[in-house]
Amino acid sequence: MSESLRELSAQRSFGGWHRRYGHRSGTLDCDMELAVYLPPAAEHGPVPALWWLSGLTCTDENFMQKAGAHRLAAELGLAIVCPDTSPRGTDLPGEHDSWDFGSGAGFYVNASREPWSAHYRMFDYVTRELPSLLEAALPLNGVRSISGHSMGGHGALICALKRPELYRSVSAFAPIANPSACPWGDKAFSAYLGEDRETWKAWDACELIRSQGCDFALLVDQGDADNFLHDGQLRPEALEAACEDARVELTLRRQPGYDHSYFFIASFIDEHLRFHGRQLSR
Question: Which of 83, 64, 95, 171 lies closest to 123 in space, CA to CA?
Answer: 83
Encode 96-134: b = buried (16+ Cβ within 10 Å), e = exposed: eeeeebbbbbbbbbbbeeeebeebbbbbbbbbebbbebb
Hey, is 43 helix, strand or coil? helix
Q: How crowded is the C-beta side of 37, counted as CA atoms within 13 Å?
A: 30
Specify burial of residue 164 (Cβ count, 10 A radius: 0-12, 13-18, 19+).
middle
Based on the residue annotation, tell me whether 70 is a catalytic residue of this protein: no
Which H or E run contains 140?
strand 140-148
Question: What are the φ and ψ backbone dihedral angles of 267, each rounded to 5 degrees?
Answer: -70, -25
Based on the residue annotation, tell me whether 150 is a catalytic residue of this protein: yes
Distance (Å, rounded) from C-alpha 279 to C-alpha 161?
17
Provide the 10 A C-beta neighbour count for residue 89: 11
The residue from 103, 150, 171, 180 that is catalytic is: 150
The residue from 149, 154, 260, 272 that is catalytic is: 260
CA dihedral 102, 252, 231, 245 (to 10 degrees): 90
The residue from 60, 84, 221, 226 that is catalytic is: 226
DSSP secondary structure string, 245-278? HHT--EEEEEETT--SSHHHHHHHHHHHHHHHHH
- Spatial CB neighbours of 75, under 8 Å, sequence gap ≥ 6: none
> Which residue type does 163 have?
R
Based on the residue annotation, tell me whether 204 is a catalytic residue of this protein: no
Enumerate the β-bridge partners of residue 170.
146
Catalytic residues: 150, 226, 260
